[in-house]
Structure 1
Amino acid sequence: MLTVRPYVAADEARWDAVVAASRNGTFLHRRAYMDYHADRFTDASLLIEDDGEAVAVLPANRAGDTVSSHAGLTYGGLVASRALRAGRTLEAFERIGAHYRGAGVGRIVYKPVPHVFHAAAAEEDLYALHCVGATLVRRDLSSVLAPVEKPPMSGMRRRAVAKARAAGVTTRTGGDMAPFHALLAEVLRRHDATPTHTCAELQLLRSRFPAQIVLHEAFRGGELLAGAVVYDFGRVVHTQYLAASAAGRACGALSLLLGELVADVYAARQRFSFGISTEDEGRLLNAGLVAQKESFGAHAVVHDRYEWVL
């Protein structure tokens, strides 16, 4: 029989072992990543065990009578080992619901890991959500391409890449995070937004995951024109942040940088994710932003959010 219990700090090694061996976990689910902002969230994570062996984990936090999986992550969801199959997943959701109800929780906001990030098929949780009566409350549109299939860029994008090369733009990897973060903050300020991570947080996370969090930049001489922070999940990579200065936009620096990442640096990867292009809780599509991603050969994948009333 499966049992569910709250995560405690002493479980970190067991938790990370489940994530590492799971079908759908990424380094975002590792405790060293999750806990960088632990002071902002009341942790409500769970371990799911079968006769004392951890077979799944649920990253989660609590605010009032609501548990989210996870409000501080792009996606949370049940991170499952290969031992947790369909029937046991249904049982796990029964135990999870009973545990949270007993703790006075009224609803769960659930953000499953999108299938493109799975190492193997792992959508038993989506079926379990259907069985317990959870409802889809938000859907964002993300853009993903397959570098191994060498998707063609649009003519406009190829011209932008050629323009950047002719202007003397070059690329490099692994520089200081601070100048890029300043550029990113400047770009987002024009849209009344700020980066999700402060510069200090991004530097901390890169120090913890140096092989997985990689900064790529485009320069002309010593001037930073564009940059991309890439989260490397192995078979899949994701552009966590993209930014270009006014001068960079004028000469196509970001087009060159992304073109090289897709066609060269990450050419052997199964998927290259550009992230979402939606606003207003997913109801508004940013047509210009999604068209930019599609010009590299990307197509749509959705990121869903469910509400489970207990």
Structure 2
Amino acid sequence: MTNLTVKKYLKSDYNIWNDFIGRAKNATFLFHRDFMEYHADRFDDFSLLVFEDQKLVSVLPANKVSETIHSHQGLTYGGLVYREQIKLAAVIEIFQAVLSFLNKNNFQKLYFKTLPSVYHLKPSEEVLYVLFLAEAKLIRRDSLSVIDLSQENSTSKIRKRGFQKAISNQLIIKEEDHFESFWNEVLIPNLEVKHNAKPVHSVDEMDSLKTHFPENIHQFNIYLEDKIIAGTTVFETETVAHCQYISKNENQENLGSLDYLFHYLIQERFAKKRFFDFGISNENQGRNLNAGLSYWKESFGASTVVHDFYEVETSNYNKLNGIFV
């Protein structure tokens, strides 16, 4: 590629950015500006666009903190986004141009989070090879618990017993358009008690995101009679149904609520998706595993897909010279 130019995202780039995201082979609705900007007040956006002559060939969702650039910290995953037709050599040149641009603008490091392979529309691991060439340092690795829905998967006996228990308890599953009851009656109290934490998203933010992405964001609640006892929030992409939040009232341990809910989601509601992603069971930047939580997800038939995070010196753009033979 020749004549590559890199520029910082401006509000005037809204349409060209979103059009590119809609045509990329390694992007999801999280990279749409309407999703990225729901929390614009929390992050100093420094997203980048890369052009070959006048044609947009790649984008990088990002924000800045002091002298470092991060794959956008408000997103679960990230990375360099490109289209299906791109070649490996071009990705090398694009990444070099990004590092060079950042270096010339006095940013010392790029913290780069990848897009897990299950979210790719087609194989898109070109950037992993480029990170190797640029001598990027792996600084974090999370483990996602994922079910490949295109194959047969075995559910453990204990999950099946929980499912039967839920039926005997006459639990009811409801898909709802609002998040208030799950947030206020289940999720927030549980996070506060167990982790002294709050959800990343507020109820108002979730309602707003649901308005913008009604086909991608879903709330499923479980009721005992008219009392909510558990639920999950699902972010749906073209290939994956991902559980963003999972929670139940701890005093409802023996009702089989989550066994019932996830049997329905896996076997019925999202059965035609390629993957079902329970998310991570890690803490401490991936260096600790909540073994009980991981086992619970695996008992539905899930196995591990890794999600990697890298640190790369922007001055390493020079290491991408002389690659081609």
TM-score interval, smaller chain: over 0.9
TM-score, structure 2 as length reference: 0.93
Letter in 2 for 1:252: G
The code of the aligned residue for 1:158 comes to K
**What residue in structure 1 maps to residue 189 of structure 2?**
186
Task: Kindly indicate whether the alpha-carbon contact (under 8 Å) linking 1:56 and 1:80 is maintained by their aligned counterparts in 2.
Answer: yes
Residue 107 of structure 2: aligned partner: 105
Report the Cα distance in structure 2 between the residues aligned to 1:100 and 1:73, rounded to whole angstroms. 21
Structure 2: unaligned runs, 5 residues or longer: 315-325
The equivalent residue for 1:206 is: 210
Structure 2 residue 52 is matched with structure 1 residue 70: no
**1:146 & 1:249 partners in 2: Cα distance?**
28
Match of 1:160 in 2: 162
Q: Deviations over 1:195-220 (max 9, x none)?
A: 11111111111111111000011111
Would you say the 8 A contact 1:7–1:47 is kept in 2? yes
Does the aligned pair in 1 maintain the 2:121–2:238 contact within 8 Å?
A: no
Counterpart of 1:126 in structure 2 is 128
1:79–1:248 CA distance, 2 compared to 1 (3 A): farther
Tell me the distance in 2 between the aligned counterparts of 1:250 and 1:18: 48
Given that residues 248 and 254 in structure 1 are in contact (C-alpha distance below 8 angstroms), is that contact kept between their aligned partners in structure 2? no
Residue equivalent to 2:317: none
Structure 2 counterparts to residues 202-281 of structure 1, below 5 A: 202-281=206-285
State the 1:151 CA deviation. Answer: 1.3
Q: Please say if residues 56 and 84 of structure 1, whose CA atoms lie closer than 8 Å, have aligned partners that are also in contact.
A: no
Q: Look up the match of 1:50.
A: 52
**Aligned-partner residue type, residue 32 of structure 2:** R
2:287 is equivalent to residue 299 of structure 1: no
**Counterparts in 2 of 1:132-151, with a 5 A limit?**
132-151=134-153
CA distance in 2, matches of 1:287, 1:236: 23
Shift of 1:247: 4.1
- Give SS of 2:150's match: helix
Q: Confirm or deny: 8 A CA contact 2:163 2:259 kept in the other structure.
A: yes
Instruction: Quote how far apart the aligned CAs of 1:175 are.
Output: 4.1
C-alpha contact (below 8 Å) 2:179/2:219 kept by paired residues: yes
Code of the residue aligned with 2:259 in structure 1: it is: S
Structure 1 unaligned blocks of 5 or more? none
Distance 1:291 1:68 in 2: 32
Q: Which amino acid aligns with 2:204?
A: A
What is the rounded CA distance, in whole Å, between the counterparts of 1:222 and 1:247 in structure 2? Answer: 16
Q: Is the 8 A contact 2:137 2:312 kept in 1?
A: yes
- Corresponding letter in the other structure for 1:169: L
Question: What is the CA distance between 1:174 and its match in structure 2?
Answer: 1.7
CA distance in 1, matches of 2:48, 2:165: 52
Contact persistence 1:55–1:83 (CA under 8 A): no
Deviations 1:68-123 (A, max 9, x none): 01111111110111232210111011110111111110000000101110000111
Distance 1:84 1:69 in 2: 21
Counterpart-to-counterpart distance in 2, 1:175 and 1:46: 34
Partner of 2:43: 41
Please tell me whether residue 288 in structure 1 is matched to residue 292 in structure 2: yes
Matched, 1:117 2:116: no
Note the aligned Cα RMSD (angstroms).
Answer: 1.0
Letter aligned with residue 253 of structure 1: S
Instruction: Give how far 1:299 is off.
Output: 0.1
The answer to whether the 8 Å contact 2:177/2:218 transfers is no
User: Structure 2: how far apart are the matches of 1:63 and 1:189?
Assistant: 28
Give the Cα separation in 2 of the matches to 1:303 and 1:102. Answer: 29
Q: Distance in 2 between matches of 1:12 and 1:150?
A: 42
The one-letter code of the counterpart of 1:48 is V
The DSSP-based 3-state class of the residue aligned with 1:79 is coil
Tell me, in whole angstroms, the C-alpha distance in 1 between the residues paired with 2:151 and 2:270: 12
Kept in 2, the 8 Å contact 1:67–1:109? The answer is yes
Distance 2:269 2:152 in 1: 13
Distance in 1 separating the partners of 2:95 and 2:212: 32
Q: CA deviation at 1:249?
A: 2.7
Deviations 1:229-275 (A, max 9, x none): 10010221100111111244320101100110000001111100000
Cα separation, 1, equivalents of 2:117 and 2:276: 13
Aligned residues between the structures: 310
- The equivalent of 2:95 in structure 1 is 93
Question: Which letter maps to 2:11?
Answer: A
